[in-house]
Structure 1
Amino acid sequence: MSVEETMNYVLKIPWHDIERNLISRVQLKKIIKLRIILDKREINYPIYFYVGEKRDHVMIPYVFCSCKNFTIRVMSKKKKPSCKHLIMLRLALDKSMYREIYIDDLTLLKKIINEIIRIGLSPTLRKLLYISRNRRYERGRTDGA
């Protein structure tokens, strides 16, 4: 499929056609938006991540996913218009159901992407998610104490 065909498919899929298991994954906030702050300015890169149980994926909204399904069935064999991760990303963006992490170093972004491409998941990304979750927990404890 072409980039345009993939984008049109993802943007036009009716809500009632989206499988329940995809919706539940979005509700679990497995989609991650990366916020990059450099020199006190936010740089808006359209890069998102899917954090799965066994694999992580890099996604560009509506047009690219690093999963094998996208590479083989969408790009190479042209048998499908999209992968499930791009559909989940669309749902997450429409409903604002994603987690955000902040980084202040582009080498960290490069490291996360390289880990996902090379080994299928990013320990660095997972560590950032763990740290940000603990910070929210600690803030909640001190605010409520």
Structure 2
Amino acid sequence: MDLRETRSRLSTDSSALTLEGRNAREVLSLVYSYRFVRLVVNGGEIWVYTGPERDYVAIPGTYCSCMDFAIRVVSRGETPYCKHLLGLEVARRLGKYREVRLGSEEAVAVVREALFKGFSKTLHRMLYKY
């Protein structure tokens, strides 16, 4: 699978929105539990999936830092997207995500923590401030 196919399937293929080949309950639970976070940074955006065990960085229609994406999408070419990219597309269309505005340094910290530690303390502190 290549990037064009991933983007095409997620943006125009109705089968992507009907959750073809995926467990619909699992993907919709990602969306309706507001696990996707849009980080707004200097006019740009970065997306993070905040999972129960790990956080993943995602670029809509392009990339997810999860192992399923690395193995099934990139290495084996079995599918054009992982459940997180599909869930992100559904969340964006339905407006079912959280949004955090932050500076460049904070954004770098969030991405580094998610990619290298699997969990962003910085992001979770921002989301769950009291």
Q: TM-score w.r.t. structure 1 length?
A: 0.80
How many angstroms does 1:13 deviate by? 4.1
Q: 2:50 is matched with which residue?
A: 51
Residue 40 (structure 2) aligns with = 35
Q: 1:30 to 1:114 in 2, by over 3 A?
A: same
More helix by share: 1
Counterpart AA for 2:65:
S
The one-letter code matched in structure 2 to 1:125 is L
Are 2:69 and 1:67 equivalent residues in the alignment?
A: no
Equivalent residue, structure 1, for 2:18: 16
SS of 1:53's equivalent in the other structure is coil
CA–CA distance in structure 1, aligned partners of residues 30 and 67 of structure 2: 19
Name the CA distance, whole Å, in 2 between partners of 1:61 and 1:24: 18
Superposition RMSD in Å: 1.4
**1:29 is paired with a residue of what secondary structure?**
coil
Unaligned runs of 5+ in 2: none
What fraction of aligned residue pairs are identical, expressed as a percent? 32
Q: Distance in 2 between matches of 1:94 and 1:100?
A: 14
- Please state how far the C-alpha of 1:116 moved relative to its aligned partner: 1.0
Q: Which residue of 2 aligns with 1:97?
A: 96
Structure 1 runs not aligned, ≥5 long: 37-41, 135-145
Q: Which amino acid counterpart does residue 127 of structure 2 have in structure 1?
A: L
Can you list the C-alpha shifts for 1:25-75, whole angstroms capped at 9, x where unaligned?
A: 211100001122xxxxx5123x21100000100011111101111011111
Deviation of 1:23 (Å): 0.9
Relative to structure 1, the CA distance from residue 13 to residue 119 in structure 2 (aligned partners, 3 Å threshold; closer, same or farther) is: farther
Q: TM-score with structure 2 length normalisation?
A: 0.89
Aligned length: 125
Give the number of the structure whose alpha-carbon radius of gyration is greater: 1
